[in-house]
Amino acid sequence: MSSTIEPETEFARVPDGFERLWTPHRMAYIQTEKPDQDDDVACPFCAAQTKSDEEALIVHRGQTCFVILNLFPYNPGHLLVCPDRHVPGYLDLTDEETAEFTLLTKQAMRAITAAAAPHGFNLGMNQGEVAGAGVAAHLHQHVVPRWGGDANFLPIVAQTKALPELLADTRARLADAWRQD
């Protein structure tokens, strides 16, 4: 019995009942060689501090910590609170840094609430690569706004999140709300 194998060029022409959501912007992250983040020169959070707020998507700079938009957000307005210093863990913070880190987390929640009226928040830190930290060498806390119904079928079925707003627009809106707090 002989079997015929279809050429792969024909697959795209066969209707299969699936809708396609193209996210070519994700390819930049997938194909980028990940730098050694133990080196503060290669660290994206250390590099962001040398750029303008608009270019780096920094929403607020404090005395020892800063707040920046996540480049790959779970939801619009997903912020990261980071110490200025390149340290990997929460226990590495000084008392002064810990106080500001906590204060900026609260201020981030207030700014997001003023700008976008979320129904709730997810807050969290992943300490170390094994815990899921994408940038394990530089501590950061996630502040993720949540709305009822914000988790639809796309993340579950397609591992894709649809975001309705450009990062620069989100940064501007949150920076304005921060100044009004």
Q: Is 142 a catalytic residue?
A: no
Per-residue pLDDT tens listing for the chain (181 residues)? 556 665 656 655 555 555 555 556 656 655 666 545 556 668 999 999 999 999 999 999 999 999 999 988 888 999 999 999 999 999 999 999 999 999 999 999 999 999 999 999 999 999 888 888 888 999 999 999 999 877 655 554 556 666 777 888 889 989 999 987 6
Token pair for 119: 């129904």
What's the pLDDT at 65?
Answer: 98
pTM: predicted TM-score of the whole model, two decimal places:
0.72
Catalytic residue of the set 86, 138, 140, 142: 140
* d(C-alpha 67, C-alpha 174), whole Å: 10
Q: Which two tokens stand for residue 59?
A: 């929403």
Give the closest residue to 71 by CA, choosing from 177, 180, 166: 166
pLDDT at 83: 98
Contacts of 49 (CB under 8 A, 6+ apart): 56, 58, 66, 84
Residue 109 CA to its chain's centroid (Å): 15
Dihedral-angle region of residue 131 (phi above 0 means left; psi in -120 to 50 means alpha; beta otherwise): alpha
Taking a C-beta distance cutoff of 8 angstroms, is the pair 138, 114 a contact?
no
Distance (Å, whole) CA 110 – CA 107: 5
> What pLDDT does residue 161 have?
67
Determine the pLDDT at residue 149.
78
56-86 burial, b for 16+ CB within 10 Å, e for fewer? bbbbbebebbbbbbbeebbbbbbbbbbbbeb
How many alpha carbons fall within 13 Å on the CB side of residue 78?
A: 19
What's the confidence (pLDDT) of residue 106? Answer: 98
Closest CA to 75 of 45, 117, 106, 134: 117
For residue 175, count other CB atoms closer than 10 A to its CB.
Answer: 19
Beta strands 120-124; 79-83: pairing state: unpaired
